[in-house]
Structure 1
Amino acid sequence: MLFSIDEDAGARIVGWIMPDNPAATPHVSILIGGELRKVIPATVLRPLLREQGLHETGICGFVVDEHVVPGLPEVRDIELYDETTNIRIYRRRPDTARADQKLFRLETRVVAQAALNLPIQDLFHMTFTRLERIPEEAVKSILGIAFTPSIYCTGRIFFRTYEPLLQDRGFKSTVLLRDPLEELAEQLLVLRWAVKTPNLAYSVLNETFRPLVDSLGKAELAEMADLEAWLAGLPPFERSLLADPLSRLLTCRGSDDALEATAVENALDTLSEMDVLGLAGAEDDYWATLRAVLELDLPPLPDLSWSRQVGELRDQVAEWPAVQDLLAADLQVFADVTAVFSRVDEATEEAVEPPAQPAPAG
């Protein structure tokens, strides 16, 4: 699905949606105050879409005017969604959206750190989270939005696929890195939960994890330590779903790409190009840096959840030989980045340390 908004002239909002099915007529859901008020079909011919073979009829354009929404010029909280995908394609800029810039945050966690979005998203005109659940072409439409300079996006996506577009459209990029062992521990706990509650699991997990859920459901796990044997016995494909997720997000272009021998070097190069880099456990420093780079008065960072169960399993996972191989690249990347941060902290402490006073005479 591709989309664009041509204008919001107050009394009319004009745009188009090109659906994945080139024979389908797109429909626009109109929400006011968060409530669905009306669904309208596209009725306007967009000749280029037909001429370029992208749509059979080219009837992809729509107009929302006062015939559709009475009193439209005065309606501040109107939102437009593509009915088929439920992707928000437009909203009128809220008063809170004072950021005239574009920010992308790479999410590295399977369980998204949603608390990091809450203080930020209302500062931007258009916000999009969980990009990993949106088709690639739709993500490119989102990153290419031209009707506003104020966009915030985040998702667990393959960064290299979108990096050229992010740079071309003037996005600042940021990532908060997490200990790979802690991330694996959380993933294992989520997979166990998914086995027990499959109907709820995929509200958190991407469908790509289904083979792991199926595999774990067949395993005999009397205790947590049995997870090590399960990990060690995974076939190559299922193993690849857990192997070095951070390095893959930073260096691969898709789930089918193999991790290259130079993955650590390439991942560090990618991180060096980020505008703001932070480490989990030092979120206050990350937040202060983000505030300085964006030159925005960010709200205080909310309390971030921490699971004792994840921490305890992390300590066990760290002792499993199978894990050292499974996360070899990620562990090296995280160690190198942590070392850089430590050197910066040491240099900063030395710079602010007051000079030693001479001993008194006599």
Structure 2
Amino acid sequence: MLFNLEFDRGDIVEGYMIPDGFSETASIVVTKDDGTELFLPCIHERLAVKQSGRHETGLVGFVIDKTMIEDIESQSRLTIRDAKTGLLIYRRVADDVRNMKLLRLDMSIVPQPKLDSYCGELFQYAISAVERFGHETTLQAFHLNAVESIFISGRLFLRNYEEFLDKGFEVAASFSEPYYEMACRLLTLKGLSRGQITFLGDRDKLNLAPVAEHFSDVNLDDDRAIIQALKTGGDRVREGLSSPVTKQLVSTSLEQRVTRRDVAAAINLMSRFTIVGYGYHRHYQRSLSELLGVKEENIPISAIHPALEKLADRLRTFPVAETFIEEDLILDHYLREAIKRHT
């Protein structure tokens, strides 16, 4: 999906939204300050879009003016979203937004929606769980040229977007202990096999389907069952579980393998982050509050889940589990040492 605001003159707002489907009708929802909504089809042709083969009709442009919203000039938080997905296209800037571009890189398969919701309200433009929308939409969010206040969060393969670290984006990331993250993945994929997981996008569901299927009948309370499943999973299961943190930092896709030599590259990339947190320590919460200029207690941070911690403790005793996350364990060692020296 491609989208952008072309201009906001006060009495008229103009932009475009190109949907994913070639023949799909483009439409937006405009929300006023009082919460009332206005549904608008995109009826303005963009000839270049049609000629390039991006859309069948090229009817992807929108214009909002006084004929639609009489008091449009006084709408201080006028918001425009894609009608189908709810994706934010544009909202007017508030006086107290943070004039910065921040990527909160999600390093766990389990998202933090409360944290993203809170942080997103501090910025003019915000998009959370961006990996659900695909590479093209993610790139568009990074490329928004008319907005200086941007918050993006998601579980991205950062190599695909590393160039934006040189274009004003700061990065905040918090890392889990590797066995705890492995426990999160096993439990999530077990739930995915039962149709209980809603926070994964379609691409993740497709890519991780072989792992979910393999563990669908595995009793996670049975040590021998887990060990046997890890030993017999094959390449597709190993792809879905092997060193996800290192892979996320140095690879461009789930299928790309990582080796011990990639750990150095991962550490080098992390050195460019503005904030690096670990586990559920308050350091991450405190650093975010300082960066965003808010009270520390206002930053919602998830707590350790006892059931996941128990599963992680058991995984630490399985030699076969270690072979899946060797690179992450090495990275974790250096990360712990760096944080220990810093704090």
Same fold, TM-score > 0.5, yes or no:
yes
Match of 1:138 in 2: 137
Match of 1:233 in 2: 232
Matched positions, count: 339
Residues 27 and 39 of structure 2 are in contact (CA less than 8 Å); yes or no, is this contact kept in structure 1? yes
Match of 1:203 in 2: 199
Match of 2:11 in 1: 11
Q: TM-score, normalised by structure 2?
A: 0.90
Distance 1:192 1:52 in 2: 43
Q: 1:28 to 1:116 in 2, by over 3 A?
A: closer
Distance 2:338 2:270 in 1: 12
Distance 1:224 1:181 in 2: 15
Q: 1:221 to 1:101 in 2, by over 3 A?
A: closer
Could you tell me how far 1:261 is from its partner in structure 2?
A: 4.9
Residues 172 and 274 of structure 2 are in contact (CA less than 8 Å); yes or no, is this contact kept in structure 1? yes
Q: 1:118 to 1:341 in 2, by over 3 A?
A: same
Could you tell me how far 1:35 is from its partner in structure 2?
A: 5.7
Match of 1:262 in 2: 261
Match of 2:30 in 1: 30
Residues 29 and 36 of structure 1 are in contact (CA less than 8 Å); yes or no, is this contact kept in structure 2? no
Distance 1:114 1:221 in 2: 26
Per mean C-alpha deviation after superposition, the further-off stretch among 142-151 and 111-120 is 111-120
Q: 1:193 to 1:320 in 2, by over 3 A?
A: same
Instruction: Give the AA of the match of 1:80.
Output: I
Match of 1:277 in 2: 276
User: Could you report, residue by residue, the CA deviation over 1:79-137 in whole angstroms, capped at 9, with x for unpaired residues?
Assistant: 21223433111122245x43101100110111113343344222111111101101211
Unaligned runs of 5+ in 1: 346-362
Per mean C-alpha deviation after superposition, the further-off stretch among 222-231 and 30-39 is 30-39
Residues 219 and 226 of structure 2 are in contact (CA less than 8 Å); yes or no, is this contact kept in structure 1? no
User: Could you report, residue by residue, the CA deviation over 1:140-173 in whole angstroms, capped at 9, with x for unpaired residues?
Assistant: 11111122211111100101101113432x1111
Structure number with greater Rg is: 1
Distance 1:178 1:137 in 2: 28
Instruction: Give the AA of the match of 1:181.
Output: Y
User: Could you report, residue by residue, the CA deviation over 1:249-269 in whole angstroms, capped at 9, with x for unpaired residues?
Assistant: 000111232224521111111
Distance 2:157 2:6 in 1: 29
Percent identity reads 23
Instruction: Give the AA of the match of 2:80.
Output: L
Residues 120 and 298 of structure 1 are in contact (CA less than 8 Å); yes or no, is this contact kept in structure 2? no
Computed over aligned residues only, the root mean square deviation of the Cα atoms, in angstroms, reads: 2.4
Distance 1:31 1:40 in 2: 11
Unaligned runs of 5+ in 2: none
User: Could you report, residue by residue, the CA deviation over 1:187-209 in whole angstroms, capped at 9, with x for unpaired residues?
Assistant: 222233334x41x3133573132
Instruction: Give the AA of the match of 1:255.
Output: L
Q: TM-score, normalised by structure 1?
A: 0.85
Residues 119 and 299 of structure 1 are in contact (CA less than 8 Å); yes or no, is this contact kept in structure 2? no
User: Could you report, residue by residue, the CA deviation over 1:5-42 in whole angstroms, capped at 9, with x for unpaired residues?
Assistant: 01222222100112233444421122346967332222
